Every structure is written in structure tokens, then in C-alpha cells.
Structure 1
Amino acid sequence: HWHGIALRNDMDGVPGITQKPIDPGAGFTYDFTAPDPGTYFYHPHSGLQIDRGLYGVLVVDDPHEPGRYDQEWIVVLDDWIDGTGTTPDEVLTKLQATNGSGGMGGMSGMGGMGETMQSSLLGGAGDIAYPHYLVNGRIPTSPVTLTGRPGQRVRIRIVNAGSDTAFRVALGGHRMTITHADGYPVQPAVTDALLIGMGERFDVTVTLADGAFPLVASAEGKNGQGMAVVRTSPAAAAPPATAAPSQLTGRVLLGTDLLAAAPSRLPDRAVDTTHDLALGGSMAGYRWTLNGKSFPDTAPLEVRQGQRVRLRFQNQTMMFHPMHVHGHTFALTAGGARKDTVIVRPMQQLEVDLQADNPGQWATHCHNIYHAEAGMMTTLSYRE
């Protein structure tokens, strides 16, 4: 699945909706035009394979990009449990066997690990206490090093490829300017830290200071963090793996706090149809729902070509859900950012508008992969 790209429907990569699964030993060629520049990623839509590391980053460059930065770094965040004595599939089986062990609100750790996963910003912050959190595939005691020179301006493309973890990202000794959300320009916003949900991508710029600094991805509401080292001075001492820069507790922005830049705004027009999506869940059997049903029994969201569609996400659980729509971007109402994945906080309602301009059957789901696998998915379905 080419996450965030408004490509043609038969290339969307969702078994059972847009294609047959690719059999072992077989092949499938994806052939599509990427219509919009931006930071994207790709991953399978088969079971929990993304939580076994099967993903990559896809950057679509803008030929008209003015640049104005000296370097560009790609930073990928992940939570990791595969091969540490269990597998993602075994984790899901255990969640289901233990009636979720906190599936309604993340009040305890996976399988009784005993961790309380609560965030002041997100409420219930996940179901799984991961043993490792990674930045570019490395643990904090063996971090990747990103090198530059003092005074350089760097564009950092940040992708959360995790399955159950939102990350609070900060660079010690620096403030970040958020310039893009899910590939689209936003009105530049200066912040100390950025909270990024699963499936979200943000581009930020920083002006590098002199030294060696921790780029920390703290697992929101959980115990642990990922870390990379940003180094501009060969002689500076490396930060410790447990570094906790003060920026983590400074100003923190979410995608819902951002405003669209003028080129990213949807043209103003009346809404033609509205769909309510009640986000629900039950600890019994670890079942997650949209409008009271679990996929494939969920009712499709029917639209017609050319309509302006409003989706009204109503979170009826005590856990946050990063909701993702395939094949489209949407605009947060009241001038908010243009996105394809957005955090819906516990017991809150969030409205987004999209233009129905890409016919097909499009998966719409929570990007907590365990919630999606346990039923929190439907389709945005075009009708003649």
C-alpha cells in the first residue's frame, strides 16, 4: 500500500479490496503516477506484516521546490517486538485471549506486563509495551548519527511507521519549524516538540547549533524512547541513550494544531454528504468497531464522483485513534491542515472534508494496526 498517495484504485495494494494477495513466490508490478509531491511511505496491508518491519519511505520531489535548506534527512520511527521472544501475530492472539488487557483504554500493558499507557495529550496511548523503540532501525544505545555543520539549515522528513505507538519528537538544544503535514504545506509553526501518530508524516526545518544533540522520539504514554544523534562537532560528547531534552516538555504540537498553507486549502464549497463514523471498541475478544460493527461487516461510506464529503469521526473510546483514508487527502475543517491520517482523541469529535475525485473502493481505518486487524476499518465506496 502506497500510504497517502492519491493513485488509481487498482494499485492501492489492499488484499480483498483492490487486489488478490501476492502469493508466496509470485510477483505483482505496481504501476502508477504519483500526482503530488511529499513525504510518503509504503507497507503491506496483509495482517500485521508492517509490525515485522516490512515498510519503506517514498519521497516525491517537487520540481518547483525552492529549497532553502542545506541538507535533507529522513527519520523513521518504529516500535519493535518481533523476534524478542514473541511475534506480532502472537501478541494479537494474546490480546484477544486476555480480552484485550486494556484494549478500551490502554490501562495495562500487553498481556499483563503491567505498564499503564496513559498520556495527558492522548489519553489511552496504546495496547502494547514494546521492548524497543527505534529511529532509523537503531536502538538508543547504538544510535544512527546524522552529521552537519553549525549554521546549516536542515529539512527533516519524519515518518511514524510504528504500529501501536505515537511518538513525541524533539531535538535537544533546538526548536523545529513544521513546514509540511502528510506531504502538504502548512503555515510554518515553530515548536519545541511534535506529537506524531502512526501513519503520520511531518517535514520540519532546523538550524543546527554546534555540538552533539539527541534527536529523541519518546514513546508517548509508554516507558521508552528511540534516539538518533545529530552531530556538528567531532569533539562533542555524545548524548546518553536516556537523554531527555527539555524540549520534550515544552510546546508540543499535533497535526490538528496546524493550519493549511494557501496552496493546500480545499476550494470553498458546500458539503454534499456527511458520514458519521463512531469509533468504538470492546475488551471482550479485543474487538474494535466503526458504527458498532467490525470489518468486513462494517457499512461502506457511499459517495459519488464530484461530491464534497464530510467525515465526522466520533471517538467513543478512551484511546486515541489515528484515522487514515486511502486514495484521498482531506482538510481539517476551519482551515486546518491537509492530511490523510489524523489523530482523533478520546471522547472527542473531529470533522474533515474531502473531495470525491478518485473513484474506487478505498480502505478507511485506524492506523493502529492491531485495531485495524481487529475490525476498525470500512471502505469509502464510490457509487454510480
Structure 2
Amino acid sequence: MPVVDRRTFLGLAASATLAGCATQKATGPAQGTSAFVSPGGPEVSAAEQARKPGRVRDFALTATANGLTWSYGGIVPGRELRVTAGEVVRARLDNRLPEATSIHWHGLALRNDADGVPGVTQEPIAAGAAHTYEFTAPHAGTYWFHPHSGTQFDRGLFGALVIEDPAEPLGYDQEWVVVLDDWLDADPDEALAELKKGMSGDHSMKHMLMGATSPLLGGDAGDVRYRDFRINGRTAADPQTFTAKPGTRVRIRLINAGGDTAFRVALDGHTMTLTHTDGFPLAHSETDALLIGMGERYDVLVTLKDGLFPLVALAEGKKAVARALVRTGSGRAPAPDFRPRALDGRVARYGKLRPAEHVRLPARQPDRTITLRLTGSMSRYDWAFNGKPYDPAVREPIAAGERVRLRFVNTTTMWHPVHLHGHTYAHADTGIRKDTSIVLPGMTLEADFDADNPGIWMVHCHNVYHQESGMMTLLGYRVQSGGSGSR
């Protein structure tokens, strides 16, 4: 079985996929790739060494196909990976799928050549081939992994990655990782092809969802008709049960691995204390429910009461739920479609959250503002940034050491969960640290980050059907004097 590792890719990228690429500034001419740091250049290696890599933890993953379901190791979600911050993840992926694949380690400020974007940071992993990812786990928190190859993760290819804090400040008794998902049970490429035909009326609408609306999401809630919705791979009719004793203080790590669905989550009979979003600590606050877009993660603390309680994830605007059960005592589970009152109580929103002080980004004026207008429509299915679909030859230049402001201006009538690779930004208004954020229709989100992780990094909508229709772009670190470029 052929193996392509990240060192081999350095030569491949320069001579093949990345060769001849250009960047376009809003106010200037295109530049060649020699102007940019390469994914495996010395700048990337220096940044990795600055993370002070610790002991190596080896993992083996196998991507397999079983009909319409593709998975890691034959289970959905894939087996949870758990390391301690500062350790080195060395993960070998054997690709037994019928097509090329990759793994993106979502939310991590990792070395660029391990980011898992084919044609940008690595060569695609061909069917029958293998690839080894190796990177230092930089920050404690809740993360996840999935392909960055077409619509593959909407087939079931995803899993949780938990990076533990060696000096964990939270006090709790147990942990529970909760992965939310929308289950298509169909070929997502077929669904995408149908959506791309738009609303012309001259084709069947087997996969297109009409009439899904949500005030929390500003209107249209989603595009795709899913068969059901799941928590940790289980349906509402066959839920997973988390068992504990009354009074247990549990940390719940929530991950939305869906392709097209936001979830409103509540634990019946309990309030939740929000502690983290996208891996980074928050000033603690209580809520009855939270809204979580695709790619987002939230950590909450809950002190469990005595009885049996459903954890319910409402597929926002889609009139269906996913659920699991929490059992600490006697009690009968309610009907599978039960909706706790808490879902209609206090819903955590960005504007009311604040970062923990020790992760607040220091005050500083942006050196550079990049405006990304979210454009497109359901009728044409032409989702894009600034009216231009994704082109891997186009990169927005940034420079190491800059404070960069991303200004997301949503001109569409649809909400979009935008995601930045390789960095954690701060919302300019509240300071909360995130890597994936919901931008409501007609709204503008400003997010600041320090350019401290060299390479070529993707920005995209984490609705898999929007990103694959063109709502993606790239940021590229410019080579400093004496740098490597793409050689």
C-alpha cells in the first residue's frame, strides 16, 4: 500500500498542485506562489518547534465504506481520540474508500502541512493509499476531525478529538462527549447535484428541503432533507443512555458534526453552565438551552438530579429531534419526539457570552481588514465569498505578526457558520474566542486574530453543501525577507 507522508508532499506541492497558483488583492495585481509560505516550509517547521512538542501518541484510523455509510473503523462517530496538550499526534490513515480522502483536524492551530486540505496543504490520499499526520496538539479543548474532500463527512466520516489540560482548572466527576449529526442515508453528492440545479422546477426535489424556518437563525433554517437526526450515532427511538449517580457533576462536550443542521440543545429539568466554546474558556454563565451551528463546540457543566432525563437536540427549524438519555435513578423515558420546556427558555447567544480573562485577545487595532461578503441564493445555489466561487489559485495575503480582522458581511437570506482554519479568533464586540461562528442573514460579524501560524489557510462556510458550491477561500502568509516561498 503506497504511503504519502507530509515530507513527501513538500516536493509534490511545489511541482504539481500548488505550482503556478496566484493571489489576487482587492487593490493590486496577482502574485505567484513564491510570495507565500509553503505548507511544509521552514517557517512552518519553526512554528512547530516553538510549540515544544512532547511525547508522541500513535493512532491508526481506517476509512471504510459500507454502502452509503462511510466511517472511521466501521463506527459512526469514529473512535474518540484523546491526548494531552503538548503531546504529538501521529495518526496514520488507511484509505479503503473508493475515492481519495483526507483528514482535517477542526479547530486546531496546528502545523500547516497537517491541516488536511487536498490541493492546498497536502496531496489527496488516493484510494488504497495511506497518509500519516503528525502535529503537536497545541491547546486543550473539544475538537473533532473529518475529511476536507467534497461532501464525504456527510456520509459519517467524523470523530471527536479531546485535548486534555494537564492542569485542568474545572472540577467535575465525569465527562460525556456528545456528537450531533444529521443523517442523510443517501449519496450526498447526489443531493449536492440536485441543489445545484436550484429552484428551476424542472427537476425532482428528493433531497431539497422546503419550508424550514427558524427565528433564531433569521429565517431559512436549512437546505437538505435528512432521514433523521442522531446523538452519538443513535436515533431518538434508540437513544444512548449516560448513567451516573444523583449529584454527579458532569462535563458535557457538545460537537455539531452535521452537514446542514443547527441544533438547539437542552437537558430536561436542568440548567447548564457554559464553560467553553470551540475549545476556549468562557466566563461561566447559566443557560437553559444553546444553539450550536455546524462545526461549533460547546462545553457545559451540569449537576445531575435524581431520575431519568432526556438530552434533546432540536434540529432547528426542521421539526425533528435527536436525543440521548441521562439516568441517575428510576423513571420512564418520554416519547421520542418529546421537547423539554428548556428548549424555549434562555438560549445562549454570542452577545451575552464573554471570554475567560486569561484567553482574552490583547487590545490592538487591526493592521489589516479582509472583507468577505457572503453571497448567493437558494434559487441559483451559487454560494460564494464576494460573488466569486472558490478558486485554489486565489489567496488573500497576510503577514506574520499582523492583527487581522475578518469582516463577514452576510448579504444572503440564509445563515452561514463560517470557519477559519489554523487559528482561533476573537469576536470584535464581545471578545469570545472561536474558530466557527454563525453569521445571520443581513448581519455582519467582525473577528480578529493574530497571524502567528504561518501557512496557507482556508476560510469557508461549514454547511458542506454551501462550501462545495463555492463558499470557500484561502489566506496566505507572505514570505518574509529570506523566506522559502513554495520551493
**TM-score normalized with structure 1 length:** 0.94
Q: Calculate percent identity across the aligned residue pairs.
A: 57
Match of 2:165 in 1: 62
Match of 2:232 in 1: 136
2:190 paired with 1:90: yes
1:193 to 289, 294, 299: 289
Secondary structure of the residue that 1:228 maps to in structure 2?
strand
Match of 2:335 in 1: 240
CA displacement 1:189-227 (0-9 Å, x = unmatched): 100000000000000001101111110000001121100
Secondary structure of the residue that 2:192 maps to in structure 1?
helix
2:349 paired with 1:254: yes
Of stretches 360-369 and 247-256 in structure 1, the one that deviates more from structure 2 is: 247-256
Query: Structure 2: how far apart are the matches of 1:140 and 1:325?
Result: 32
Query: Structure 2: how far apart are the matches of 1:367 and 1:256?
Result: 21
1:380 to 470, 475, 478: 475
1:204 to 264, 286, 300: 300
CA displacement 1:268-292 (0-9 Å, x = unmatched): 1221000101001134542111011
Of stretches 331-340 and 353-362 in structure 1, the one that deviates more from structure 2 is: 331-340
Match of 2:325 in 1: 229
Query: Structure 1: how far apart are the matches of 2:281 and 2:205?
Result: 37
Contact 1:290 1:298 in 2 (8 A): no
CA displacement 1:268-317 (0-9 Å, x = unmatched): 12210001010011345421110110001784222100000001100001
Letter in 1 for 2:318: K
Contact 2:418 2:437 in 1 (8 A): yes
Letter in 1 for 2:246: P
Secondary structure of the residue that 2:355 maps to in structure 1?
coil
Of stretches 338-347 and 289-298 in structure 1, the one that deviates more from structure 2 is: 289-298
Of stretches 260-269 and 202-211 in structure 1, the one that deviates more from structure 2 is: 260-269
Query: Structure 2: how far apart are the matches of 1:98 and 1:137?
Result: 31
CA displacement at 1:37 relative to structure 2: 0.4
Match of 2:220 in 1: 124
1:164 to 255, 260, 277: 260
Match of 1:327 in 2: 422
> RMSD between aligned alpha carbons?
1.6
Contact 2:180 2:255 in 1 (8 A): yes
Of stretches 174-183 and 294-303 in structure 1, the one that deviates more from structure 2 is: 294-303
Q: Aligned residues, how many?
A: 373
Segments of structure 1 that go 5 or more residues without pairing to the other structure are 102-108
2:310 to 206, 211, 214: 214
Match of 2:244 in 1: 148
Secondary structure of the residue that 1:30 maps to in structure 2?
strand
Contact 1:196 1:255 in 2 (8 A): no
Secondary structure of the residue that 2:195 maps to in structure 1?
helix
Match of 2:63 in 1: none
Contact 2:210 2:223 in 1 (8 A): no
Query: Structure 1: how far apart are the matches of 2:200 and 2:358?
Result: 43
CA displacement 1:82-130 (0-9 Å, x = unmatched): 2xxx3111111111124488xxxxxxx9647664111101122110121
Match of 1:106 in 2: none
2:386 paired with 1:286: no
Query: Structure 2: how far apart are the matches of 1:100 and 1:345?
Result: 26
Letter in 1 for 2:462: H
Contact 1:181 1:255 in 2 (8 A): no
Secondary structure of the residue that 2:134 maps to in structure 1?
coil
Equivalence map 1:14-53=2 (5 Å): 14-53=117-156
Letter in 1 for 2:336: A
Query: Structure 2: how far apart are the matches of 1:11 and 1:256?
Result: 33
Contact 1:40 1:182 in 2 (8 A): yes
Secondary structure of the residue that 2:216 maps to in structure 1?
coil
CA displacement 1:35-71 (0-9 Å, x = unmatched): 1000000000000000001011000000010341111
Secondary structure of the residue that 2:290 maps to in structure 1?
strand
Letter in 1 for 2:311: L
Match of 1:9 in 2: 112
Change (3 A) 1:114 1:61: closer
Secondary structure of the residue that 1:331 maps to in structure 2?
strand
Match of 1:263 in 2: 358
Contact 2:191 2:208 in 1 (8 A): no
Letter in 1 for 2:151: L
Change (3 A) 1:62 1:3: same
Query: Structure 1: how far apart are the matches of 2:119 and 2:453?
Result: 19
Contact 1:256 1:342 in 2 (8 A): no
Change (3 A) 1:291 1:44: same
Secondary structure of the residue that 1:138 maps to in structure 2?
coil
Secondary structure of the residue that 1:335 maps to in structure 2?
coil
Contact 2:265 2:291 in 1 (8 A): yes
CA displacement 1:23-42 (0-9 Å, x = unmatched): 01111100000110000000
Of stretches 328-337 and 363-372 in structure 1, the one that deviates more from structure 2 is: 328-337
Letter in 2 for 1:71: Q
Secondary structure of the residue that 2:408 maps to in structure 1?
strand
Match of 1:360 in 2: 455
Secondary structure of the residue that 1:378 maps to in structure 2?
strand
CA displacement at 1:334 relative to structure 2: 2.8
Contact 1:70 1:153 in 2 (8 A): yes
Letter in 2 for 1:2: W
Segments of structure 2 that go 5 or more residues without pairing to the other structure are 1-103, 480-487
Letter in 2 for 1:176: M
2:407 paired with 1:304: no
2:369 paired with 1:274: yes
